[in-house]
Chain A
C-alpha cells in the first residue's frame, strides 16, 4: 500500500492547520464585535466637538484659525493607519494601493510627501520604499489609547503650524460591514469649514482663558479624535477581514482534506483488491 501513510500524515497536518485557522476565525470574530463597540463609543465625542466648533465659527465669524486656512500646496502629510499583523486578506494591500495612487498624483505635481505611519505594516512598507517617515507608532494592541497617538499626531500638527506641510490626510480602512472594508482618504487639514446657520442672533461666549487658546486645544483634540477613530475603525476592519480570510482558509482546508481522503480510500481499495487477487491466484495454483 504505497503512499497511504504519507497521505494519512498529510491529512493529519492539514487538520491541525484547520484547527488553527478555525480558532483564529473565532478569536477575530469576538474581537471584531468589541472593536465595533469601541468604534461606536468614539462617535459622541466627535459629534459634540463638531457642534462646539460650529458654535465657535458662528460666534466668531471673523477669526480664522491657522488650521482652517487653505494654502498653496508644496508639501503634504499623510497619516497612514494599518494593522500591526498580517493574515487579514488584502486589507493592507488595498489601503496601500489607494494611498500610493494618491501619492503619485502629488508626486507628479511636484508636491513632496511626508508620512506618519501607524501600525507595523505601514512602517515596514514605507521604510522599504524609502518614504520620508517623520514619525511612527505601532504595537497599539486591540485597545488603543489616545495617549499613544498624541505624539505622532502632534508631529504633523506642528509641521502644519510651522508651514512645513500644507495639507494633511488620514488614510485608514472604513468599516462598511462585516464583509466589506474600503480604504478611505480623508482630508484632516485644513479643516473644511461647515458652519451651521441655525443660530440667527449674534452672541458670543465668555472665554476662559482666551478664544485663541481654547480654539487651539479644541482643534488639536478634534484632529486627535479623528485619528483615534480612524485607528479604532481600522482595528474593526482588520478583525473582520481576518475573520473572513480565516474562514475561507478553514473551508479550503476542508476541501483539501476531503480530496485527500478520496485519494487515500482509492489507494486502500486498490491495495485490498490486489491482495485478494493475489490470494485467489495463489489458491488456484495450489489446487
Chain B
C-alpha cells in the first residue's frame, strides 16, 4: 500500500470531502501545488480552480473551489474552501451595500438611542406573554 495523506475539504456551508489520498493538487495563489504525504507544513491562499485528489486505486476526484485557504501538515491537508467568489473590491461593494441599506432606513430618524424605551416595551410584551400563559394554565 502506498503512503496516503488525510484530506479534509470543508466550506462554511457544508463538509465537501473527508478521506485519504496519495497525492493532492491544489491551485495555490503563487502557483499550482502538488502535495505528497510528509509534505512540509505550509499554509497558502487558494485561487479559483480545481483541487484534484489521487486515490490509492488510481482514481481521481476533482473539486472546484472558488478560493480559500490551504493548510498542510505532514499527514493532514485541510482545504478551507470559499463558496462565494471573493475579491477585495467585491467585498467592499457588499459592505457598502449593507451600509447603504441601513443609512436609507435611518435617513428620517433623529434623536438618541432610546434603550430605556426599548426595555419598557419589552417588559410589557413579556408581561403580556406571561399573562396569556397564566390564563391558559387556569383554564
Q: Which residues of B contact A127 (CB under 8 A)?
A: 105-106, 109
Q: Would you give the shortest CB distance from B73 to chain A, in whole angstroms?
A: 8
Across the interface, name the chain A residue whose C-beta is closest to B113. A131
Known: A96-B122, A154-B95, A205-B42. A41 touches B15 (CB 8 A): yes
Q: Which residues of B contact A117 (CB under 8 A)?
A: 102
| In the complex, chain B residues 25-55 whose Cβ is within 8 Å of any chain A Cβ | 28-30, 40-45
**Stretch touching chain B among A25-33, A162-170, A207-215, A274-282:** A207-215
The tally of residues in B whose CB lies under 8 Å from a CB in A reads 55
Classify the interface of chain B: helix, strand, loop or mixed: mixed
Q: Which residues of A contact B82 (CB under 8 A)?
A: 146, 221
Q: Which residues of A contact B117 (CB under 8 A)?
A: 129
Across the interface, name the chain B residue whose C-beta is closest to A155. B95
Q: Which residues of A contact B12 (CB under 8 A)?
A: 42, 45, 146, 221, 224-225, 228
The tally of residues in A whose CB lies under 8 Å from a CB in B reads 63
Bound state CA distance, A27 and B126, in angstroms? 27
Across the interface, name the chain B residue whose C-beta is closest to A47. B10
Q: Would you give the shortest CB distance from A269 to chain B, in whole angstroms?
A: 24
Bound state CA distance, A252 and B95, in angstroms? 45
Q: Are A214 and B109 in contact (CB under 8 A)?
A: no
Q: Which residues of B contact A96 (CB under 8 A)?
A: 118, 122
Q: Would you give the shortest CB distance from B22 to chain A, in whole angstroms?
A: 21
Contact pattern, A 113-139, Cβ under 8 Å of B = 1, otherwise 0? 100110000010101111111111100
Given contacts A132-B113, A152-B98, 20 further A-B contacts (CB under 8 A): A41-B13, A44-B10, A48-B78, A107-B115, A127-B106, A128-B118, A130-B109, A133-B102, A135-B95, A136-B101, A145-B83, A151-B91, A151-B98, A154-B92, A154-B98, A207-B44, A213-B45, A217-B45, A217-B69, A218-B69
Q: Are A206 and B122 in contact (CB under 8 A)?
A: no
Bound state CA distance, A117 and B105, in angstroms? 12
Bound state CA distance, A100 and B42, in angstroms? 45
Across the interface, name the chain B residue whose C-beta is closest to A56. B43
Q: Are B105 and A214 in contact (CB under 8 A)?
A: no
Partner of B91, one of A104, A154, A214: A154
- Please tell me if B138 contacts chain A, counting CB pairs below 8 Å: no
